[in-house]
Amino acid sequence: MTSDSQSSPADHSLEGDVERILIDAVTLQARIAELGRDIAETYAGQDLLLLAVLKGSVIFLADLMRAITIPNSVDFMAVSSYGAGVQSTGVVRILKDLDAPIAGRNLLIVEDIIDSGHTLSYLVRTLRERNPTTLRIVTLLDKPSRREVNIPVDWVGFSIPNEFVIGYGLDYNELYRNLPYIGVLKPGVYSEDPE
């Protein structure tokens, strides 16, 4: 038990760190349903493998795969270019690779957010070397003003301004993923970070 002068992380209200809601839960679900229909039409009658980029895309993946009305399977990769801060470092590392070969498969990369494009560009180059039949990209969020590497994206949920967003799978220091909407994190929260 904590005293009045101390608080534990569990006592902290995550929603209190949100400056404003950028995309509410209803709008998110409606757009994901549209994306699912479009993707199902594109891949009708074909094998489809969804590749979720961990950890941020998991919630988007769960809702998207249910909105895709054709059979699909899932695999996961974890890559990092952020470290503990809020700016992409540009140095990409694979933390977890695919469990199965993708040669001859129709691969759809499921991303939570595209920022500079460095991580996704690296991932696409790496995966193309493994000879999938097709390789397409769907992202929930796109920050076109931050793009440093031009990467063609087949489906974009929402284009957003250059703000630090959290919620619906997106985190800051592993928190806020469970918020049901996309919110803008108060600058004071991450400007206090020593990183």
pLDDT in tens, 133-145: 999 999 999 999 9
Lowest mean pLDDT among 72-76, 88-92, 101-105, 155-159: 88-92
Lowest mean pLDDT among 76-80, 82-86, 91-95: 82-86
At 135 the pLDDT is: 98
Contact 72, 50 (CB under 8 A): yes
At 12 the pLDDT is: 63
At 5 the pLDDT is: 41
At 192 the pLDDT is: 58
Q: How far is CA 162 from CA 15, 125, 144, 146, 185, in A?
A: 20, 26, 8, 7, 12
DSSP label of 191: H
What is the helix (H) or strand (E) element at residue 50, kind and residue range?
strand 49-54
Model confidence at 90: pLDDT above 80: no
Averaged pLDDT, 54-71: 96
Confidence of residue 91 (pLDDT cuts 50, 70, 90): confident
Confidence of residue 161 (pLDDT cuts 50, 70, 90): very high
Contact 157, 137 (CB under 8 A): no
Q: Would you tell me the crossing angle of helices 25-42 and 58-67 to the nearest 10 degrees? A: 60
**This prediction's pTM:** 0.86
At 4 the pLDDT is: 43
HSE-CB of 168 using CA atoms within 13 angstroms: 28
User: How would you class 111 by CB atoms within 10 Å of its CB: exposed for 0-12, middle for 13-18, buried for 19 or more?
Assistant: buried
Model confidence at 53: pLDDT above 80: yes
How far apart are alpha carbons 97 and 102 in whole angstroms?
12
Model confidence at 6: pLDDT above 60: no
Model confidence at 186: pLDDT above 50: yes
Active site residues: 115
Contact 140, 153 (CB under 8 A): no
Model confidence at 75: pLDDT above 50: yes
